Structures are given as C-alpha cells and as structure tokens.
Structure 1
C-alpha cells in the first residue's frame, strides 16, 4: 500500500509498502530522513517541495497511492493539491486540520468532485479552554 504524506507520517511506514513524505521545510525533511534511518524505516522516503507540485509529477510517473494524508496550514489545502488528490484517486484520504472552516471548504470540493464519501470525523481538543480544535477526517472513495 503506497502512501503519500507529509514528513510527520513516519509512523505509517511499518504498515505500508512505501511512504513518501513531502514538506517545504528542508530541515523537517532532514529530521524525517534521520528518524527513518534510526528507526529502520527503509520504505519511507522524504522530499522537499510542495505537495501540489510533487504529487502530480508522481502520478504522471505511475505512482498511485492507496492512502494520502494531508496536514495543511490553517489556510487549508491549495486548490492545486486538491486537484492532484482527486486525480490520484486514492482509496482513502486522511485530512488533519487545525481550522474547521477550511476543512469544510476543502471537504466540499473533495466530496462533490472526487467520488469520496465521509467516513469519520474526530475532533481533538489539544488546546483546552480555547476555541481551537484539531479535526481528523477520513474520506473513502465511493464503492470501496
């Protein structure tokens, strides 16, 4: 099960044939690579760049992830990334969000245009006594 995801997704490596992490911060990629070596995660590789650029390149080269994990900034996913995710047609999309309003906007595009259905939503209160809430959403391709 190949997986495309951000660098913090090293924990997926024991459960997947391949994990590809993407991050725009080079130091984060260096840390992810070092952690992968230290933890014997041979199936994990990490790339500096933008997911909305790298994922379409990988798709054109024949890479088809079963699962995509995204953890975008508060502004949500770039439209080009959402388009790339729809083109990749993963079986599952795990979306970790720190902003419920941009999560809703992005999910609307994925649900209306991509043949996904909402499988689960789990809010996580990591900042008690504040208005901030993290959410983890799992979207599954229709018919799977």
Structure 2
C-alpha cells in the first residue's frame, strides 16, 4: 500500500495536498484503470511555481514510462498519469475494453505493470529534485 500512495506522500512533503484519494491504482485489480493521482495543492494557485516544478520533474523522470501533469483551465485539480494514457482521460479512462482494442490486453497490462513499477521511483525522484531546488 505504501508504494501505491508514495506519490501522494511525496507531494504532501512539498505542500499540503487536497485530494479525495491517495492511491494511484486499485490493489484488488491493478488493471482496472491506468494509474493516476488527482490532486491539488491546498491554498495554492494553479499558476504557482510548485506545479511548474512538478511538471518538469515528471518530464525529466527516466522510468519505464513517460509521465504527465494534466489539468484543464476550468478545473482546479491536476492529474498525474503516464503520458500514454493522458489523452484518454476524456474518453474511456476506466474502460479496459477500450485499452484492449487500443493496445491489446497484453500490451495494456505491460504498460500498467511498468507504471506501477515507476510509482515509488517517481515519488523518490520528486522528493530528490525538490530538495535540490531548495538548496
């Protein structure tokens, strides 16, 4: 469970987080949807440098997958998710059949496995980069 919530824990070391859930994926069925964290920094404007820092950290992270920080102008929340799934947030994000058709079931499961493996390493990277920024 700690790995599943590691990005939430990392972000909460930067500033207090407002979110309804701290898990990136379902423990019972990790393939039910792509890993993601919907959040916002509490009492921090969307244009704050902390979001820019996080966006840069996600882009520079070298893991199994590329990661994105996504938002919309009309929303206050941001979403961290693998880049390959970013475009699907508006479509069938929770639909395994959609991914089976888009990638094949095996490829989808490999992508999810890679993302899940990335999560704790991405959390460590965010903290490391944030500490460097403070020096």
TM-score (norm 1): 0.28
TM-score (norm 2): 0.29
Which of the pair is proportionally richer in strand? Answer: 1
Which of the pair is proportionally richer in helix? Answer: 2
